[in-house]
């Protein structure tokens, strides 16, 4: 199937195999490429995928730090044993003059609004310094579906700093991110 799949670019453009069709799914910006039988083989979250414009910078340890910044509906349910490969990217800006720790993870979740679920990729962090100001968070991972009722791929981040003050937040840049899912 991979050879038949030409892919969705990060800009949202479709290059379809002759047997595939495109359609708009649950989100007005989400695009899925489907097989002749209607099963999606690739979904792209499309333009302006970001659900949040900012994420609060909290002081560690935050008991519930994960904020879902993007999500993508899988369309039709996965079959047990089916594999998904996911790539996600978001651009963030730190308006503060101190170092900020940003962790990111991909999950298969029961809802778009949750920061919990089955991990698709390990949580990884990076330090955004005052000199950096901007950063691009990129996650790639895969998951063999175990049969649980989870329909959403969620890209979540946690933002912490020992220097955090109330009301300060990391900015999520609009239309700089995407989630792309391949199904096998």
pLDDT digits (tens, 9 = 90+) for 45-67: 998 999 999 999 999 987 778 99
What residue numbers bound the domain in which 70 lies?
48-183
137 forms beta bridges with 90
pLDDT digits (tens, 9 = 90+) for 130-146: 899 899 999 999 999 88
Q: What is the dihedral of CA 120, 109, 138, 140, to 10 degrees?
A: 30
**Mean pLDDT score of the chain, rounded to an integer?**
81
d(CA 68, CA 156): 4
How many structural domains compose the chain?
1
Confidence of residue 20 (pLDDT cuts 50, 70, 90): very low
Return the CATH number at 71.
2.60.120.660
- Residue 19 included in any domain: no
pLDDT digits (tens, 9 = 90+) for 70-102: 999 887 778 888 899 999 999 999 999 999 999
- Residue 21 included in any domain: no
- Residue 129 included in any domain: yes
């Amino acid at each position: 199937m991979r050879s038949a799949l030409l892919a969705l670019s990060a800009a949202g453009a479709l290059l379809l195999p002759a047997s595939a069709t495109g359609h708009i799914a649950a989100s007005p910006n989400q695009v899925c490429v489907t097989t002749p039988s209607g099963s999606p083989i690739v979904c792209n979250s499309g333009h302006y995928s970001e659900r949040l414009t900012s994420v609060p910078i909290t002081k560690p340890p935050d008991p519930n730090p994960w904020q879902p910044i993007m999500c993508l509906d899988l369309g039709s349910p996965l079959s047990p044993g089916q594999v998904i490969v996911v790539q996600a990217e978001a651009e963030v800006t730190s308006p503060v003059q101190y170092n900020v720790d940003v962790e990111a993870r991909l999950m298969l979740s029961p809802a778009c609004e949750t920061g919990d679920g089955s991990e698709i990729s390990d949580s990884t962090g990076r330090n955004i310094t005052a000199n950096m100001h901007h950063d691009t968070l990129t996650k790639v991972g895969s998951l063999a579906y175990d049969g649980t009722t989870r329909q959403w791929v969620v890209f979540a981040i946690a933002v912490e700093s020992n220097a955090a003050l109330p009301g300060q937040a990391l900015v999520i840049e609009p239309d700089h991110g995407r989630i792309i899912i391949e199904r096998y």
